[in-house]
Amino acid sequence: MPLRIAGLSGFDVDNTVKELMKAHRASYDKLDQRKQTYEWSRDAYRDVNLKITDYRNNKLFNFKLEGTFNKKDVTISGDTEAVSAKATAGALNGNITISVQQLAEAASNYSTSEVTKDGFDLTKPLTEQMDKLAHGTPLAATYKFRINGSEDIVVDPTKDSMNDIIARINQSSNVTAFYDEGKKVVSFMAKQTGLTNGADGKGDKIVFEDKQGNFLNTIMQVATDSANKKTAQDAKVKINGLETTRTSNNFTVNGIEISLKKAGGTAATIEPKTKTDEILESIKTFVSDYNDFLKSVQDKVTEQRDRDFEPLTSEQREAMSEKQIEKWEERAKKGLLRNDPILSKIISNMRMAVTAEVDTGNKDIRSLAMIGIDTGEYFENGKLVIKDEEKLRSAIESDPLAVQALFTQNAEEGRDGSEVGIAERMYAKLKEGLDELVTKAGIPNTSVFDQSTVSTQITQVNKQLDQMERKLRTLEDNYYKKFAAMEAALNRYNSQSAYLANAFGGGGSAQ
C-alpha cells in the first residue's frame, strides 16, 4: 500500500478521495446490507424453530400421552377396611365387588438351635473362629447349596464371613435371610407371598438343598421340613362373584390396583370415576397453547416490512448513537418472514390437523367440533374456541376413551390417516416443518457452518464482498497515487516558479 500524505499545497486529498470513493462504495454497501438481511432472516427462522420445538416437545407432546386424558379416581363402599384401591391410566369403567376370605402370606423358616456361640464375629471368615460355631465339627473346604431352586450358592470358609454368606443368599435366591445376634439363629423368609416357593415356584415351603457338604443342615441348623417352618398361602378372594386366588395381596383388575388389607368375607365395592374436571382443564390448556403457538407463527407471516428501514451502512452507524442504532434495527428486522412459504405451510397443516375428523370408534366423538370446540370468527385465523363446555364435559364423562383417542390415537400399519389423533398429526407435521426450517436456515444455537440455503447465501455474499473490498482498496490506492503525483508536479512547478522569480528579480536589482 502506498504511503498516503495529505498535500502540502493545502489541497484536502483525504476528503477528496473519500468523496470520490463514495460512488464506488455504494454497490459494496448495498451488498453488505443484503448480507445483513440474510443474517437477520437466518436468526428469525432459527428463533421460530426454537419456538416450534418448545411447543412440540414441552406442550404438544403431553397430549400424545394417554395419561393426560385417562385420569381416574376410585371410591370404595361397603367394607372399606378390607381393601384399598388406586386407578391407573388404563382403568376401565365398571364397578368391582370384592370380598376377602384369606390374605396371602409368605413362607418362612429359621434355625432349630443356636448357630454360634458367644463372641462370634459376623465379619471374620468362618475358619478363623471355628470354636465359636455351635455345630462342633470340622469345616469342609467348600460348600454348595440352593434355596428355593436358586443357582448354586458357594461358600469358602477360609474367605467368607457370616455377613458374606447372608448377603450372597439375599442376592442369589428369592428369600431374605438375616442373622439374629440375640438368639444366635438365622431366619429365612420368602420375598413373595403365596405359593411361589421351590424350584417350580408353586410350593408352600422354602426348599433347602445341600449340594456339597451340609452347610444348611449342619451349620445353619435349618431344613425344609423343620419344625420352625411356616407354610405360605395364597390370598382367597371373590371378585364380582367369582371365587379365585392370588399369590399376592396386591394385584390389578381392569386397570385398578387393589391391595388386600383384612380378611373377613364382607364385600367392598370399588367404583372407578373419571376425573372430568382434570381432563377438562387439560383440554383447555391444549386450546390455549395451540392458540398462542398459532398466533406467534401467524404474526411472523403477516408482519409488515418497512422498506424505509434497511440495514445501516458503516458510515450511517458512525453518525448514530447506540440507542438510535438499536431502534433503527428493531424496525429494520420487522417483516423479514412475511408470507414465508414454510411458515404458511405450518399454519395450514396445524389448522387442518385440528379440524379433520378422527376415527375414534364413536360416531359422536370424531372431531373437536363434535365435543364443543370450534374455530372462532374468520378474522381470527383458525383460533380454537370452546363454544360449549357442557358438551365437552358430557363427552369426557360418557366416553373418555374416545376423547383420548381423538388426541392420542396412532394409526395401525396399513390403515389411512383418519385414525391418527389430533396431537399425533400435529406432532408429525411440526417435525416436517422443523426439517424444512433446518434446510432453510440451519440448526439453532450453533455457529458451525451448515449447508442451509441462507447460510450458503451468506457465504456467497461474503466472497463477493471480499472481491469488491480488494477492488475498492486498489482503486483508492490509485487515487492516492494520482494525487501524490499531482502534488509532486505542483511542488516542482512551485519550485521552478520561485527559482525563476528569484533569478529574474535578483538580476534587476543588480542592474
Beta strands in 18-169 (DSSP E): 72-78, 83-87, 96-102, 108-110, 143-147, 153-155
Tell whether 498 is covered by a domain: no
CA distance 348 to 436: 15
Q: What is the largest CA-CA distance in the chain?
A: 158
Q: Does the structure show a pLDDT above 80 at 485?
A: no
The whole-number average pLDDT for the span 450-458 is: 87
Q: How far apart are CA 405 and CA 422, in angstroms?
A: 9
Q: Are residues 54 and 79 in the same domain?
A: no
Instruction: Establish if 459 belongs to a structural domain.
Output: no
Do 166 and 87 fall within a single domain? no
Same domain, residue pair 285 and 393: yes
**pLDDT at residue 136 is higher than 50:** yes
- Write out the residue range of the structural domain in which residue 444 sits: 22-66+278-450
Residues written for the chain: 511
Model confidence pLDDT, tens digit, residues 390-400: 999 999 988 98
Give pLDDT, residue 414: 42
If pLDDT is split at 50, 70 and 90, which confidence band does 448 have? low
Residue 12 pLDDT more than 90? no
pLDDT at 10 (0 to 100): 58
Please report whether residue 480 resides in a domain. no
Here the cell at position 187 is: 431366619
382 and 446 assigned to the same domain? yes
pTM of the complete model: 0.68
Sheet holding 108-110, edge to edge: 108-110, 185-190, 175-180
| Residue 103: other Cβ atoms inside 10 A | 19
- Residue 20 confidence (pLDDT) above 90: no
Judgement on whether residues 284 and 252 belong to the same structural domain of the protein: no
Residue 81 CB neighbours (<10 A): 13
Instruction: Give the model's confidence band at 473: pLDDT under 50 very low, under 70 low, under 90 confident, else very high.
Output: confident
Residue range 301-313: mean pLDDT, rounded: 90
Percentage of residues of the chain with pLDDT beyond 90: 66
Contacts of 51 by beta carbon, 8 Å cutoff, 6+ apart: 293, 296, 297
**Number of domains making up the chain:** 3
Domain match, 115 and 238 both: no
- Count of CB atoms within 10 A of residue 68's CB? 21
- 22-36, 135-149, 448-462, 476-490: which has the minimum mean pLDDT? 476-490
Q: Is residue 228 part of a domain?
A: no
Q: CA-CA distance, 12 to 479, in Å (whole number)?
A: 13
Chain-wide mean pLDDT for the chain?
89
With a cut of 80, say whether residue 251 has pLDDT above it. yes
Q: Is the domain of 437 the same as that of 294?
A: yes
Do 268 and 312 lie in a common domain? no
pLDDT tens digit string along 62-113? 999 888 888 889 999 999 999 999 998 778 888 999 999 999 999 999 999 9
Task: Give the sheet arrangement for strand 153-155, strand by strand.
Answer: 153-155, 143-147, 208-212
In this structure, the answer to whether residues 437 and 389 fall within a common structural domain is yes
The proportion of the chain whose per-residue pLDDT surpasses 70, expressed as a percent, equals: 92
Residue pair 308/330 in contact (Cβ under 8 Å)? The answer is no
DSSP label at residue 216: I
* Domain end among 219, 246, 262: 219
In a domain, 46, yes or no: yes
Give the span between the Cα atoms of 413 and 393, in whole angstroms: 32
Q: How far apart are CA 379 and CA 254, in angstroms?
A: 47
- Amino acid at residue number 494: N
> Per the structure block, which three cell numbers stand in for 151?
443357582
**55: pLDDT strictly greater than 70:** yes
Determine the average pLDDT of the residues in 4-9: 48
202 shares its domain with 239: no
CA separation for the pair 13, 1 (Å, rounded): 16
pLDDT of residue 239: 96
376 with 293, same domain: the answer is yes
Confidence of residue 17 (pLDDT cuts 50, 70, 90): low
Q: Is residue 465 part of a domain?
A: no
The pLDDT of residue 151: 95
> Grid coordinates representing 457?
447465501
- 153: pLDDT strictly greater than 50: yes
What pLDDT sits at residue 382? 87
Say what the pLDDT of residue 481 is.
77
Q: Which has more confidence, 473 or 297?
A: 297
Residue 82 has φ and ψ, to the nearest 5°, of -75, -35
Q: Is 260 left (phi over 0), alpha (psi -120 to 50) or beta?
A: beta
- Segment 352-360 mean pLDDT: 92
Rounded CA separation 365/394 (Å): 11
Find the range with the poorest average confidence among 134-148, 233-247, 413-427: 413-427
Give a yes or no: residue 4 inside a domain: no
Q: How many CB atoms lie within 10 A of CB 257?
A: 15
Residue from 377, 318, 422, 258 nearest 18 by CA = 318
Task: Indicate if 269 and 396 belong to the same structural domain.
Answer: no
List pLDDT tens digits, range 365-420.
999 999 999 987 777 788 999 999 999 999 998 898 899 999 999 865 444 567 89
Question: Is 455 within a domain?
Answer: no
Q: How confident is the model at residue 511 (pLDDT cuts 50, 70, 90)?
A: very low
Round to whole Å and give the CA distance between 187 and 357: 63
pLDDT of residue 438: 93
